Structure 1
Amino acid sequence: MIEPNAQMVIATYRVVDHQKALEKRAEGIAIGLTIGSWTELPQTRHQQVSAHCGQVQGIRVVEEVADGRVVAEISVGYPQANFNGTFAALLTTVFGKLSMDGEIRLVRLQIPDELARQYPGPKFGVSGCRSRYGVVERPLIMSIFKACVGLTLPELVSQFEEQALGGVDLVKDDEIFFTEAYATPESRVVAYREAARAIAERTGRETAYAVNLTGPVHQLRERARRLSELGAGALLVNIVAYGYDVVADLAADEDVNVPILAHPAVSGALYGGNTYGVEADIVLGQLARMAGADMAIFPSMYGSVTLGQTATERLIAHLRSDTVHKPSLPAPSAGIYPGLVPQLYADFGNDLIVNAGGGIHGHPQGPAAGGQAFVEAIRAVRSGSTLSEAAKHSEVLRIALQKWGTRD
């Protein structure tokens, strides 16, 4: 067996099983996901493969269920020698065939620094994104394209202009925008940048565009380079749908000189259950940051689609903790409106992306007013004023508060 003090990836699983079976279950995981079996190996091979064998680190009963069954946490260590710096190797080793073995959920993943350094992590991180977008002392504001599929380029430009006039820092594509029948990503980047520069002459602020990176996997790197050269403000990548290794490939490429904005589409299939799958903080926080997400979108605690308080706190810890990688900017999404800004500050602090779709487009005076209402709400919080007090001097904020309310 391997030495107990060896550097290992330690995966912790939550299982539902009979208490008497836990030790055998744990040994089965440790051996089954590494060397397969001891008993079927000739004695001469034991020493040869022992350095690659998993090792049970601990078993803890969490609660009793019924009929002698318990909820327990099993921790297993996997030798670094079993990994090659790809997410395919990491996920297949710690949860590959095990993910199909009944009620079992991957709840924690501890990765040694030596192995973590083999993954690129964010190229820009929090400080790099702030520098790129010229936002130093406040949260960033991001608006979301709505009703983009099926629109012509002039119609899309008009919608971009409306959002940019609101003073938002970024406008991102809808993650479902794949068709190029009306406007390619390249044409959108060029057209929006021209529009942003024209608006900046009036407002003093140039809004960046987060373009949805789409196409066959083998073409993504070249397209990302091209979009970067054309002036994209960020690359929106459906990180689970395309895969962590795809994102890591982009983050490691020096010619893709643009922040990566990770979208959580499809991720609910991994974390949505309580007794199966992988915890959301691992999927949307830990792995996303390791792969190179400079900014990470996830369901907020306030909308109809939510992670909940505990899962959100763990996710934020993964994005911000002191590791070998730069920290990532969190972008809670869904259910975000101007009256929520004080709560966002309280829950996430200043290093944050205020990400709104309906909270901007749904403003009775239009998207520009919707963006301005968020600008005014952030200004109020930073000055120590309540939103209700600030609304006395801001019509756009007052109207927003009348429609959505406030959490002052």
Structure 2
Amino acid sequence: MTQLKNGVVKAIYRVRDQKAKLEKRAEGIAVGLTIGTWTDLPQTRHQQVSAHCGQVEGIEIKTELGQDEVIAELTIGYPVANFDDTFASLLTTVFGKLSMDGEIRLVGLELPPDLLARFPGPKFGVAGCRERYQVQARPLVMSIFKACIGLTLPELQEQFAQQAAGGVDLIKDDEIFFTEQYATPEERVDKYREVAKQVAASTGRETAYAVNLTGPVHRLSERARRLSELGAGALLFNVVAYGFDVLADLAADPEIQVPILAHPAVSGALYGGERYGMAADIVLGQLAHHAGADMVIFPSMYGSVTLGKEATEQLLLHLRDARVHKPSLPAPSAGIYPGLVPQLYRDFGNDLIINAGGGIHGHPQGAKAGGEAFCAAVQAVMDGVSLAEATSASPVLAAALAKWGPAV
């Protein structure tokens, strides 16, 4: 008989149910998502399958609602032996059919090191990204392409040049940029790199380009290798739309020598409900990190599309988990403007990507000035100077603060 792999995956579910039903419900989950049932199983098979059966690890009542109804958290342990080396097996086991079983939410996953070691994790991580982009002592600044669909390649090049002239470290595609009618990803990488070199002659730094990795799944690895060879600065990847195992394949490929920037598109469908789905920190932090994202975009705590403070803190713990894999760089997004930079630094620390779209393109003097304003704000924080003091040496920062104000 094949020797079973050791370890247990613990999944924590938040449910609303009658207190008297919790034990039976937990037992049903543990058995139902592993061996299926003990009913009518021949005695000779009990011992054979028992090592694969889930176990109820704990039942904790969180809130008493009255009339015996409670909100509780059920912790179920799943033997690592039940999983193969894919996220598909993990998610299907711990929350596959269970996700359709009424009001239930996956709020926690505890993955043992022996299972984590079977996933690739980030190839570059924080240190590798810093080395690649030649930014060691401060947060990175990233600009987002806007109004890119329908533009010709020369028009896109001009927009790239304006953003790069502001001194930002990276410029990323809009995640919805799939059409190749006017320019393929390969053409964009090639032409933008020419522009970046030209701009670097005056700014002193060559801005990297995070190209949206698009196309059929079976061709993604080939395209990623080609984009890497052409000099892409990063691969923007819609990880939930394509799947965590696709990300893992890209991260594990030794020929893809470029950091991967995970985008959260579609993730709200998984974490958006308070009583259903999966917790945001699992989707955007834990799974993305272990699947191999070097940099991870997620909703900030400050804009119209937000994560709460507690969810953000949990997400950061996942991204910075260095037990098995290199830590990933967080990139809080949505509602980011120069006046927020000191707050971002306080909330996230130095290992951070400041990611802005409207906060750069919406600057009264254009995208170049928008990038310069962010860079000035970052430098002020690093120098221990208030943004108000820094405006004396940076008119573009003064204009940004006049438009958006400092953080409140």
Which range, TM-score by smaller chain? over 0.9
Residue in 1 that maps onto 2:383: 383
Paired with 1:379 and 1:213, the residues of 2 have a C-alpha distance of 32
Residue in 1 that maps onto 2:315: 315
Residue in 2 that maps onto 1:239: 239
Paired with 1:319 and 1:373, the residues of 2 have a C-alpha distance of 28
- Aligned-residue offset at 1:66: 3.5
- Aligned-residue offset at 1:76: 0.4
Return the letter of the residue paired with 1:268.
G
- Aligned-residue offset at 1:198: 0.9
Residue in 1 that maps onto 2:368: 368
Unmatched runs of 5 consecutive residues or more in structure 1? 1-5
- 1:35-50 mapped onto 2 (5 Å cutoff): 35-50=35-50
- Aligned-residue offset at 1:321: 2.3
Tell me the secondary structure at the aligned position of residue 183 of structure 1.
coil
Paired with 1:385 and 1:204, the residues of 2 have a C-alpha distance of 24
Residue in 2 that maps onto 1:12: 12
Residue in 1 that maps onto 2:3: none
Residue in 2 that maps onto 1:52: 52
Tell me the secondary structure at the aligned position of residue 12 of structure 1.
strand
Residue in 1 that maps onto 2:131: 131
Residue in 2 that maps onto 1:3: none
- Aligned-residue offset at 1:246: 0.3
Return the letter of the residue paired with 2:310.
T
Return the letter of the residue paired with 1:285.
G
CA-to-partner distance for each residue in 1:227-273, whole Å, 9 max, x for gaps? Answer: 00000000000000000000000000000100000000000000000
Unmatched runs of 5 consecutive residues or more in structure 2? 1-5
Matched, 1:407 2:407: yes
Return the letter of the residue paired with 1:200.
A
| Segment drifting more, 61-70 vs 293-302 | 61-70
Tell me the secondary structure at the aligned position of residue 108 of structure 1.
strand
Residue in 1 that maps onto 2:342: 342
Residue in 1 that maps onto 2:218: 218
Paired with 1:211 and 1:66, the residues of 2 have a C-alpha distance of 53
Runs of 4+ in 1 over 6 A off after TM superposition: none
Paired with 1:151 and 1:40, the residues of 2 have a C-alpha distance of 65
Paired with 2:276 and 2:270, the residues of 1 have a C-alpha distance of 8
Return the letter of the residue paired with 1:149.
I
- Aligned-residue offset at 1:43: 1.3
Paired with 1:98 and 1:381, the residues of 2 have a C-alpha distance of 47
Identity of aligned pairs, percent?
Answer: 72
Tell me the secondary structure at the aligned position of residue 205 of structure 1.
coil
Paired with 2:34 and 2:177, the residues of 1 have a C-alpha distance of 41
- Aligned-residue offset at 1:278: 0.3
Paired with 1:365 and 1:356, the residues of 2 have a C-alpha distance of 16
- Aligned-residue offset at 1:167: 0.2
Return the letter of the residue paired with 1:179.
T
Return the letter of the residue paired with 1:13.
Y
Paired with 2:128 and 2:322, the residues of 1 have a C-alpha distance of 16
Return the letter of the residue paired with 1:259.
P
- 1:77-92 mapped onto 2 (5 Å cutoff): 77-92=77-92
Matched, 1:276 2:276: yes
- 1:166-185 mapped onto 2 (5 Å cutoff): 166-185=166-185
Return the letter of the residue paired with 2:353.
I
Tell me the secondary structure at the aligned position of residue 187 of structure 1.
helix
- Aligned-residue offset at 1:89: 0.2
Return the letter of the residue paired with 1:353.
I
| Segment drifting more, 60-69 vs 133-142 | 60-69
Residue in 1 that maps onto 2:100: 100
- Aligned-residue offset at 1:24: 0.2
Tell me the secondary structure at the aligned position of residue 51 of structure 2.
helix
Residue in 2 that maps onto 1:23: 23
TM-align CA RMSD = 1.0
Paired with 1:263 and 1:18, the residues of 2 have a C-alpha distance of 39
Return the letter of the residue paired with 2:21.
A
- Aligned-residue offset at 1:202: 1.4
TM-score (norm 2): 0.98
Return the letter of the residue paired with 2:373.
A
Return the letter of the residue paired with 1:297.
I
Residue in 1 that maps onto 2:64: 64
